[in-house]
Copies of this chain bind each other. A is one copy, B any other.
Amino acid sequence: MDIHAALDWRYAVREFSPEQLNTQAVETLLDAVRKSASSYGLQPYKVIMIESAAVRRDLLPHAFGQQKVVDCSHLIVFATDTRIGDQTVDRYVNQCMKVREIPYQDIAGYAGHMKQALASKSRTEKREWAHQQAYIGLGTLLTTAAVLEIDSCPMTGIDSRAFDQVLGLAHHELETSAIVALGRRSAGDRSAGLPKVRFDYDDFVIRI
């Protein structure tokens, strides 16, 4: 599907059909998120695939009863690193040395620059920065899902702290950013047929 047709086709699905997505298609989608851009490439977040039906039921009340948490084919949580600092950079540097087959001295200067950039942020700014990177990933996921004709519904109006607790995220030094339900739209979802509400182009783009 052409990218604009895909974006027009996409909407926040209210009601999913019971159809299960092909697992391979979902993995391909998550791999697209893995490839998405992030500040310095540091990608300080993970995607969590909630496979356990019991855990999904435990999460339901913390998503204010949005039934799709249980009913969708696949439920994904974007979870952001709570510890941002030198180790965020070291993790990237190690991967860079591995992928590019370079010695540490080739990246030492850049590593120092990244560490300094992170160290200059306040704790709040670091947290904000990390969540923003996850939101780039969310944008990548929703766009890619549309191109692959996978239906989705992002949900941010959830009790994130309760999600953290149910999922034991503190143990992973992570916290919930947003969740996304994936699947196939139900034929009975009347919101699929409604015109998409977007601001007019001239009201969205400013020229300077």
Residues of chain A having any CB pair with chain B under 8 Å:
3-4, 7-8, 10, 12, 27-28, 30-37, 39, 41, 43, 46-52, 55, 79, 91-92, 95-96, 99-100, 117, 124, 128-129, 131-133, 135-144, 147-148, 154, 156-157, 167, 172, 194-201, 204-208
Contact = CB atoms under 8 A, between A and B. Distances in A.
Contacts of A30: 201, 204-205
A35 to B, nearest CB: 4
A123 to B, nearest CB: 13
Given A49-B206, A131-B128, A132-B131, A196 B142 contact: no
A198 B35 contact: yes
A197 B32 contact: no
20 contacts: A4-B35, A7-B35, A7-B36, A7-B140, A34-B198, A34-B205, A36-B142, A46-B205, A50-B208, A95-B197, A95-B200, A99-B196, A124-B124, A128-B131, A133-B135, A136-B138, A136-B139, A136-B142, A139-B140, A139-B142
Q: Main SS of chain A's interface residues? A: helix
Given A3-B144, A47-B206, 8 more contacts: A7-B32, A12-B41, A43-B198, A46-B205, A95-B199, A99-B197, A140-B143, A143-B143
Contacts of A128: 128, 131
Nearest to A194: B100
Contacts of A91: 199
A41 B154 CA distance: 11
Contacts of A99: 195-198
A32 B3 contact: yes
A204 B46 contact: yes
A31 B138 contact: no
A16 B126 CA distance: 30
A197 B48 CA distance: 21
A166 to B, nearest CB: 9
